[in-house]
Homo-oligomer: A and B are copies of this chain.
Amino acid sequence: MHSYTEENYLKALFNLANDKGEVSVNELSKRLEIKMPTVNSMMKKLADKKLVFYESYKPLKLTEKGKKEAGLIIRKHRLTEMFLVQKMDFGWEQVHEIAEQIEHLHSPHFFEKMDEMLGYPTIDPHGSPIPDKTGKIDWVHYEKLSDCKAGDTVKLAAVIHTTDDFLKFLNSRELQLGLKIKIKSVEIFDGSMVVAYNKKTAETLSHTVSERLLVEKI
């Protein structure tokens, strides 16, 4: 079993992984707000445990074992978020902090029960995929709203870079998953969009917002 601390390193490595699956010590250090020398020694420890590939001055990479462990923690996190929203009536902007703690609980039975009560969900309240029981993630490719063109009609599938403030902003604009959005126009110079949804006929969304909204074309 891994410590609370080790679990946080694994999770951060997983979440930071780019297409090559590589993460720098620096990035990890910044994400965790832990100084580089500390991260460095933890990487050696995780390498001993065969969770991370580590060589001096080379980027970090999770091993298959590490990916699985990280996936299982993220599974617990996302299941918890879904439970909090669906069964305890929390808002999607309230659940991250609580899930951050619950994800470290050691009780298979508890998470199985959640999963069952939720009907075995495959996405969390922000549209992120929930890893399966083996820790594997089913990567679905969505487009960014910011990559769509005027005239497109899309369905809001997921939101990324979900800070508290961003989610509250989405609440205030009635933007929620599943929403059908029509793109009326796109400004060239700043990438902002005018869109229509619900009963709104002309809402403006900045590029900062639209690149954090993932959509499905319909």
A positions within 8 Å CB-CB of B: 87-90, 94, 97-98, 101-102, 105-107, 109-110, 113-114, 117
Looking at A89, A105, A106, the one whose CB has the most chain B CB atoms below 10 A away is A105
Q: Which of B87, B101, B117 is A107 in contact with, Cβ under 8 Å?
A: B101
Is A105 a contact of B102 with CB atoms below 8 Å? yes
Is A107 a contact of B97 with CB atoms below 8 Å? yes
Is B97 a contact of A117 with CB atoms below 8 Å? no
Q: A94 contacts which chain B residues (CB < 8 A)?
A: 109
- SS of A interface (majority): helix
Q: A90 contacts which chain B residues (CB < 8 A)?
A: 109, 113
Measured in the bound complex, the distance between the Cα atoms of B97 and A109 in whole Å is 11
Q: A98 contacts which chain B residues (CB < 8 A)?
A: 105, 107, 109-110
Q: Please give me the 6 A-B residue pairs with the lowest Cβ-Cβ distance, nearest first.
A: A101-B105, A98-B107, A98-B110, A88-B113, A97-B107, A101-B107
Measured in the bound complex, the distance between the Cα atoms of B97 and A114 in whole Å is 16
Q: A106 contacts which chain B residues (CB < 8 A)?
A: 101
Measured in the bound complex, the distance between the Cα atoms of B94 and A109 in whole Å is 9
Given contacts A98-B110, A110-B98, contact A117 B105 (CB under 8 A): no
Measured in the bound complex, the distance between the Cα atoms of B88 and A51 in whole Å is 34
* Nearest-Cβ distance from residue A157 to partner chain B, whole angstroms: 28
Q: Which of B88, B101, B110 is A117 in contact with, Cβ under 8 Å?
A: B88
* Nearest-Cβ distance from residue A41 to partner chain B, whole angstroms: 22
Could you list 8 A-B pairs, sorted by A, with CB under 8 Å?
A88-B113, A90-B109, A90-B113, A98-B107, A98-B110, A101-B106, A101-B107, A102-B102
Measured in the bound complex, the distance between the Cα atoms of B94 and A110 in whole Å is 10
Is B113 a contact of A89 with CB atoms below 8 Å? yes
Q: A105 contacts which chain B residues (CB < 8 A)?
A: 98, 101-102
